[in-house]
Each structure stands twice: as C-alpha cells, then as structure tokens.
Amino acid sequence: MVVDIPQDLSRADIPYEPVTDVHLPGYQPTTDGNQKQIRLAAKALANARRPVIYAGGGVINANAAAELTELVVSDRLPVTCTVMGLGAFPAPHEQWLGMLGMHGTRAANYAMDEADLICAIGARFDDRITGKLSEFAPRAKFIHIDIDPAEISKNVPAHIPIVGDAKNILPRLTAEYRALSPDAKRLEEWWSRIRAWHERHPLGYDDSKDHEIKPQYMIEALYEATDGQAIVTSDVGQHQMWAAQYFHFREPRRWINSGGLGTMGFGLPAAMGAKVGRPDETVVCVAGDGSVQMNMQELATCAQERIAIKVFIMNNGYLGMVRQWQELFWDKRYSHVDMGQWPDYVKLAEAYGATGMRFEDKRTLVKDMQEAIATDGPVLVDVRVTREENTYPMIPAGQPARNMVG
Ligand SMILES: Cc1ncc(C[n+]2csc(CCOP(=O)(O)OP(=O)(O)O)c2C)c(N)n1
C-alpha cells in the first residue's frame, strides 16, 4: 500500500492534540506477580539441592539488577546470565558461573545440565541456551518469571510460572525465601561440583609467545585499559562472544549488543547513541572487520557532531564466526569469508574526519588503547589479531550442553 500525501496537505496546519494517555486493549501486562506462585517458588528454591538462577536481558529492562543480586546473595545461589543479561549480576563474583549458552562457560552449562531447579528470570530459553531442546536440563524443574505470558512455557514447560515485573517480584521472592531460613549446607555438595568444573575448565586461551595479539587478549587489554569503566557495544561474531566472555560487566547497561537479532553493523551506531546519552562515559565499540563496514559511514556523523566514540576493530581479516563454522563443520572449505587486508581503516577514518590508528603489538596494547581513548573526538582503531582463532568453548549447534567442545 502506498500512502501519497500531496505537498499542499503536508504543509498545511492541522489540529493536533498530543496524546498523553495510551490504552492499548491488547497490551495490559500483569506487573504484580501472584503471591501464591511466589511462595511456591521460594519453597522450591529452599528445597533445591542443585539450583541455578538463570537471568536474561529482561532483568536489565526491568531495572531489577539490584533485586536479582539481593536474591542471589541472600544465600549461596549459583547465578548465570545470558549475553543480554550480562551486568545484571556484578561479575566477577564467587557465586558467578559466567555466561551460559553456546559460548558460555562449562561451569554454567554443566550446572544447567545437572540442575534440579532452574529459576529463569527475564530469559527465553532460546536455542543458543538450550542446545538440543529435548535433552536440555533433563533433571530440572523450572520457575519462570517473565512480564510476557507468551514467553512462559514457549520453549520449556514451566512448573512454577510467575507473570509480572521482575522488579516487583524479586524482592518478594527474596523475602519469602529468607523467611524459610533454607539450610545452607544443602548446597555444599553442589558448590564442590561447580568448583571442580571451574578448576578443570577455566575460561582461557593459549597466548602468543611474541608480539601477536590474540583476540581474547585484545578484550583483556581493553578491560585493563578502561579499568572496566566503559560502556561497551559490539557487532556480531567472534569478537562479540570474546567481549562477552572476557570483559567483566559489573553493572547493568554497560554492555549493549543486538543479542538474538544478530545484527552485524549494530555496534557503531549503538555506541553513538550511548555516547550522546551518556557524554561523560567512555564508550567503546568492539567491532568486527566485517560488521563495521555495514555502518561505518556514520563516522562522518561522529566527526560532524563531535561524538567521541572509540571503535576498536578486531581485525582478523575474516568473517570470523562464519569461517569458524566452515572450519569445524565444513572441512575448512572456506567460502566468501576471507576479507583480505582491505580497506585501510586508518586512511578511511581520516577520510571521515576521525582519528585512525593501527595496533599490532600486544606488548604495548594496553598503553596504546589508553592513548586512543584519551584522544579527542571519534577514533577508529584497526587492531590486528590472530587470523584463525576459534571462539571456545562451544556447544555445537543442535547438541546438548554436555557435548561442549574446545
Ligand atoms: C547483517 C548480517 N548479515 C549476516 C550475518 C551472519 N553472520 C553472523 S557473524 C558473521 C561474521 C561476522 O564477521 P566479523 O564482523 O568480521 O566478526 P568476527 O566474527 O570476525 O569477529 C556473519 C556473516 C549477521 N549476523 N548479520
């Protein structure tokens, strides 16, 4: 359908009264959460011997990070977050299992696999979390807290559904849970199992012996260079997963990415928005060399409007995540993933009126990054990293979590 508005009408004055009160008959969310269900959930948590709190981006949307933390530390409950939920719980922390899902930690994924009770809050059990759905968390009962009733039992049947606003529900759940004075000893065996996974399978990588920058190290260096005090956006791909794994998010709304929508090119404009909204914060974009080319023309807007974002391109010369899948599942038959060594990002940055830099030496990387961050105006940095490095650990698509590789 085309709506054609003639020019004389588009310039005409029209009577307009601003709408102040919106009633959508189809959108009447329940925010309160049923007290009986909350009490049932508290009881289930107090009786569980292998519980896991699984928090998603909904906790951040509900501004309920403090309330989540309160519940978790009211006892020794293990907690894990999705990619979208990072920052909902202050990592690192002794009760933090790390991120879960396809590129999550073994401790988080194995704990989900062996849990007897999973309490999902603002999370949707998507395929990157469950792996093979029919074999997901086979011993667990599920509490599912969500504002959207359509999410509950969509992928995994909930035993104790609670529809409502997490900010409203979590303090009541914590109060009910505390009132039951659960026996902390019941979790000892569970924690020794989790600690063993942490010890046996820590998140890690083989660092280079020379100046070469490993992509994981690039994120560690960025964390050090910013002292973790930055708003970090990302594109989609390996760099996104490494940023999620190696940058510890201590607060909500410090990590902005497109999650399940998987939108290459998201990071740079998202950083612009964050910087305009929070001009006093350091805002960095961890970009992929493929993804950044989708929206990098906006650097001109950054130069024009003096939007001082710092874009660090993790330049592996590949559409890396696709290359990884072609290596692992298609016998290394690489197709349309080699980006070669062009464009020259330093020259491009300068052409757009931004500052361009290139870093190739891990020995000076932290200091070099600090210099980039301290440079006025928008900065685009081409960080040359190991070309063929894989993002591990990994749940191969369609497999259960216990089959993690790498
Ligand atoms: C617009 C868009 N097209 C295609 C994809 C599929 N895809 C996911 S990751 C990826 C490769 C990303 O490469 P790059 O930005 O260089 O990041 P790297 O994986 O190398 O870190 C592709 C093509 C997508 N997510 N979004």
| The predicted structure's pLDDT at residue 29 | 87
Instruction: State which H helix or E strand residue 287 sits in.
Output: strand 283-288
Q: Is 289 in the pocket of ligand 1 (CB under 6 A)?
A: yes
What is the DSSP-derived secondary structure letter of residue 65? H
Distance of CA 246 to the CA centre of its chain: 11
Nearest-CA residue for atom 9 of ligand 1: 237
In 3-state terms, what secondary structure has residue 367? helix
Q: Give the Cα separation of 289 and 167 in Å (integer).
A: 38
> Helix, strand, coil shares of the chain as percentages rounded to 5?
40, 15, 45
Does residue 125's CB lie within 6 angstroms of at least one atom of ligand 1?
Answer: no
| 62 and 165 Cβ atoms separated by less than 8 Å | yes
* Category of 296 on φ-ψ map: left (φ > 0), alpha (ψ -120 to 50) or beta: alpha
pLDDT at 387: 97
Evaluate: CB of 267 within 6 angstroms of ligand 1.
no
pLDDT at position 28, please? 84
Distance 63 CA to ligand 1 centre (A): 30
C-alpha 394/C-alpha 181 separation (Å) is 38
Task: Give the separation between CA 201 and CA 195, rounded to whole angstroms.
Answer: 10
Mutate to test the pocket of ligand 1, among 213, 234, 240, 264 (most ligand atoms within 8 A of CB): 264
pTM (whole model) above 0.85: yes
**Residue 386 Cβ contacting ligand 1 at under 6 Å:** no
- Name residues whose C-beta falls within 8 Å of residue 31's C-beta, 6 or more positions apart in sequence: 147, 164, 165, 168
Confirm or reject: Cβ of 239 under 6 Å from ligand 1. Answer: yes
Across the chain, which has 406 residues, the per-10-residue mean pLDDT values are 90 90 86 96 98 98 98 97 98 96 98 98 97 96 96 96 98 98 95 97 94 98 98 98 97 96 97 98 98 97 98 98 97 96 96 98 98 98 98 95 93
CA distance 386 to 336: 19
Exposed (0-12), middle (13-18) or buried (19+): which is 219, by Cβ within 10 Å? buried
Q: How far apart are CA 308 and CA 271, in angstroms?
A: 9
Q: Is 318 in the pocket of ligand 1 (CB under 6 A)?
A: yes
Euclidean distance between CA atoms 310 and 35, whole angstroms = 47
Residue 259: CB within 6 Å of ligand 1? no
The pLDDT value given to residue 14: 86
